[in-house]
């Protein structure tokens, strides 16, 4: 039987300096209207800690995916996500061109000029077509990836914890059928409906845009070359001397995004026992080969470093504490029980769902 300790809850929140703080103050701090016998247990659950050894599922994320599962997941990415993100990415390339001023000297007196709107539009159309082709090359294959059911494990595990229901009686074999198996797969779909677009967007930023920069430079060069004249010569010289106009995406971009997400995650963990997060790998470009875990605590070490405690559902009911280093030109993550290299981390959208009553254990 899971017990909840006020001392453990207060220890998890070192920002609460007064350890004899009243329940009324804690209820207000964590979003409850007024103390009651029922809300006190809910308060302690919200404060945490989430204990991986008792609150994490006793089985690891080793489900695999059926062919039917794979078809459903691939459809979600290809049919529902790819097309909507393309215009925003293309716009970033055309914005670079719209802001570009070209020095016509020594080709022609007259200072600097911008690129013609027609040229910018034409480059944008060709970049859009290339983006579609390149995204298709990312490898949207859940069978070939290692996605498993990590999203549903993080979501479902936190659902059970918030409900105050134990999970230790479910055994060590991942349930592929039955009420628990169906519930877990349903939560996988929920996690993807809420977060798949963000996963795809971050994978594109890290893996695709550095390659697209070179392609977009070549498209610009071809379009400007067709213009000829002083403008064509000036842009050609600019491309030659700078080695390219575009410098979008890559690990430095994901580092900037992750810094913002880290601020959000700390705020979530200050008010909740846990929160699902997405991890972006540098050694796989398959959007369905990324990972989702449950963040359960942190320690900000200052000077651009921190420790993050997670329940990594690939590793059974254990707590992993990883070190985050934001100081360089890319995110560095160490002490992670995973063979992949992490280059990005974001706070997921999560909506709590009550598990079926049949899954409530004594």
Least confident span in 2-6, 32-36, 272-276: 32-36
Asked if pLDDT for residue 21 goes beyond 90, the answer is no
Please give the Cα distance from 160 to 291 (Å, whole number).
Answer: 20
Range of weakest confidence among 171-175, 205-209, 240-244, 311-315 = 240-244
**pTM score:** 0.91
Element (H, E) at 106: none
Question: Is 280 within 8 Å of 205 (Cβ atoms)?
Answer: no
Listed range (81-85, 212-216, 340-344) with the worst mean pLDDT:
81-85
- Domains in the chain: boundaries: 1-48, 50-63+146-204+252-359, 69-141+207-247
Does 116 or 307 have the greater pLDDT score?
307
* Dihedral of the alpha carbons of 203, 157, 37, 1, in degrees to the nearest 10: -150
The residue among 110 and 307 whose pLDDT is bigger is 307
Where would I find the H helices in the chain?
A: 6-11, 23-29, 37-47, 52-55, 67-80, 82-98, 117-136, 150-163, 178-203, 209-227, 229-242, 251-271
If pLDDT is split at 50, 70 and 90, which confidence band does 288 have? Answer: confident
Query: Could you tell me the sign of the dihedral formed by the alpha carbons of 276, 206, 202, 252, in that order?
Result: positive
47 token code pair? 């404060």
Write b or e for each residue in 252-287: b if 16 or more Cβ atoms lie within 10 A of its Cβ, otherwise e: ebbbebbeebbeebeebbeebbbbbbbbbbbebbbb
Q: How much is the mean pLDDT over the chain?
A: 87
How many C-alpha atoms does 123 have within 13 Å on its Cβ side?
31
Residue 161 has pLDDT above 80, yes or no: yes
Mean per-residue pLDDT, 173-197 = 89
- Smallest Cα–Cα separation from 279: which of 160, 150, 89, 155? 150
Q: 82-98 vs 178-203: helix axis angle to the nearest 10? A: 20
172 with 58: CB under 8 angstroms? Answer: yes
Q: Are 323 and 299 in contact (CB under 8 A)?
A: no
* Residue 196: band (very low, low, confident or very high) from pLDDT cuts 50, 70, 90: confident
* pLDDT tens readout for residues 102-154: 877 665 566 777 888 999 999 999 999 999 888 877 765 554 444 456 668 89
């Amino acid at each position: 039987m899971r017990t909840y300790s006020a001392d453990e809850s207060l220890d998890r929140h070192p920002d609460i300096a007064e350890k004899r703080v009243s329940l009324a103050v804690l209820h207000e701090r964590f979003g409850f209207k007024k103390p009651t016998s029922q809300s006190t247990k809910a308060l302690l659950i919200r404060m945490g800690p989430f204990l991986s050894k008792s609150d994490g599922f006793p089985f690891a994320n080793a489900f695999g995916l059926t062919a039917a599962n794979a078809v459903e997941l691939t459809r979600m990415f290809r049919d529902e996500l790819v097309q909507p993100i393309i215009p925003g990415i293309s716009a970033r390339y055309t914005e670079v061109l719209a802001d570009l001023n070209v020095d016509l000297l020594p080709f022609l007196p007259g200072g600097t000029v911008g690129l013609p709107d027609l040229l910018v539009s034409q480059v944008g159309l060709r970049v859009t077509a290339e983006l579609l082709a390149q995204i298709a090359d990312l490898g949207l294959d859940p069978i070939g990836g290692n996605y498993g059911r990590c999203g549903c494990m993080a979501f479902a595990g936190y659902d059970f914890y918030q409900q105050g229901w134990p999970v230790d009686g479910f055994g060590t074999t991942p349930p592929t059928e039955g009420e628990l198996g169906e519930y877990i797969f349903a939560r996988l779909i929920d996690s993807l409906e809420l977060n798949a677009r963000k996963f795809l967007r971050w994978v594109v930023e890290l893996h695709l845009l550095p390659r697209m920069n070179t392609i977009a430079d070549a498209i610009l060069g071809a379009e400007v070359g067709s213009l000829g004249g002083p403008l064509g010569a000036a842009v050609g010289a600019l491309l030659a001397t700078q080695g390219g106009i575009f410098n979008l995406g890559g690990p430095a971009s994901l580092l900037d995004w992750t810094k913002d997400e880290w601020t959000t995650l700390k705020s979530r963990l200050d008010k909740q026992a846990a929160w699902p997060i997405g991890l972006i790998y540098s050694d796989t470009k398959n959007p369905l080969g990324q990972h989702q875990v449950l963040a359960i605590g942190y320690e900000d070490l200052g000077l651009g470093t921190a420790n993050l405690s997670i329940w990594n559902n690939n590793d059974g009911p254990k707590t992993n504490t990883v070190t985050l280093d934001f100081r360089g030109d890319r995110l560095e993550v160490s002490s992670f029980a995973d063979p992949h290299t992490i280059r990005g981390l974001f706070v997921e959208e999560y909506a709590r769902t009550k598990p079926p009553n049949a899954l409530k254990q004594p």
